[in-house]
Structure 1
Amino acid sequence: MGKLINNRWILLLIITLTWGSSFILIKKSLVAFTPYEIGSLRVIGSGLILSVIGIPAIFKMTKSTLIWVSIVGFFGNFLPMFLFPIAQTRVSSSLAGILDSLVPAFVMIFGYILFGIKSQWSQVLGAIIGFLGAASLIYFSDADTETSQFAYAMLIVLAGASYGINAVVIKERTAKVNAVQLTAAIYTIWAIPSLVILYFTGFVQNFEMKPEYLEPIGYLTFLTVFGTAIAMLLYYKLIQNTSAVFASSVSYLLPIVAVIWGIIDGEKFTFWYILGGVMILIGIYLIREKKKNPKLAPRT
């Protein structure tokens, strides 16, 4: 079992299936909860689950490490938790999954800007092909309908940029922190501001259990435990074991899972989904890292 969890392709598959299903789970949760309630509850729930590990881990960290862990958490575990449900009030779950495929491109951009990390030409080519596949899906999807307004779609792009910064900083500044302790510390830290946000939504004061809430609560619980806490733990482990670029390439496979769930839920499907999906798979093949130690661009 340990060998399977340490296999980067197995980790990539598990994360893909889990996060690829997150978009439809968010959609189903929005039936009973507001975007801010969903974001807050995901972080708070994960924080409570992992606090037993997170609190001791925080006290063992140096001040410098704690600052970087907090930064990592903001960009990867706090901000996107709110951006996705807000966007999905107008953007379909399958389209949200498609737009999330832009993450690897942001990883390469911020990797070079922040740390001077150069990518191989094959990785750049893979990112371009994957992006073109995602772009074709977006162009030929229902992006021009009333439920997919541009401003809300851009929130998904912003979340992708946030994940890009997150992935690069994890690899360059928190690589020596154990993945379990890193994940636990992050959610423990950001559970506090999330609790404040949840309070101001009125959820704590006004929530009433109703029969129609049972199903959305189940979706949100699954999303919190598996799609947030466990999946993020595996994601951080994958980054530390491989690279930010390889780990972020999970975003090229997410649209396939998201689209499948969208079809099951009655969302639009065309030939362009197949074409775009094939291009995305080609991109993930090319973007895989061949060198263990990427060269750094000289600083002047």
Structure 2
Amino acid sequence: MIFPEEYKNIGFCHSGMRPNTDEKTQVYFLSKYLLEETASGFRLYEVKHTGAGFLRTVESVRLLADENEIAVCGEILNIKNRTLLIEKAAEICEQKNVTTVLFTGIDRHVTFVYEPDLSEISEIQVVDVFPPNPPWLWDCVNRLDKSGIFGDLQIRFSKKLVDLSVYQGENTVYPCRSSELSGLFLDSDKIDGNGFKLVGCDTSKTVFETLYPDSEYEFIEMCPTRSDAAKPDKPFIMRCCKSENSGKIIEVNGNKGVIVHWGAGEYQISENIRKLVSVLRAEKS
């Protein structure tokens, strides 16, 4: 797959005006590819040049796609959203039996995807719990993704959500009443006796045992780093109530992931997703 990092790497010329190595023609120093507009469409070339300065001498011109191999997407799209364009290009290439799709952006700049490869889109799994609904981390990541803030990262998101309501009952103890679950809550109820079921993490366990040292209870582990129910099967992002864990890159079930604080907002979540992608790419290179 070829998908230029920036549209400034793509030059444009009219039919018959493309650079010729025999004539020692020059191109803009950032140009790596050239679109030649023809009477019936476009041709796409890879251009290599030598020298220094603003304009450089063309060393070679290689045809990547001829007129019958190029389709033009009719929609005006956000061409900074690499995942969107790769997916759209793959769809158009299959429908029209071409190798290359040209896209025009909202700002009317042009880019292309040549031989789109869906496997080059990385998937990040969002591990979260509910209720309350919607699950905060999953909802936040979705809103950020729709804003286009991850457009340059070439990623998509999937979810792994754990339903806490399956443990509801009169003897079930949850950490926080904001969950809107049916049961008792460490932050608002007084708990007397034995036989309770505590659904939480080691912080909840510490609080419970500090408040009720003589109480006998069953503990259901819900810390996403240790719970079987929340075990990720892809690179992931998850929440933790311990602020000292925020921003840590960890490994769970053989997958690298990043932790954000339970109350993290959009900025922290966005920054930590970028941090994770950077780590994953460094491991690949």
TM over 0.5, shorter chain = no
TM-score range, shorter chain: under 0.3
Structure with higher Rg: it is 2
User: Would you tell me which structure has more strand in proportion to its own residues?
Assistant: 2
User: Would you tell me which structure has more helix in proportion to its own residues?
Assistant: 1
Query: Scaled by the length of structure 1, what TM-score is found?
Result: 0.23
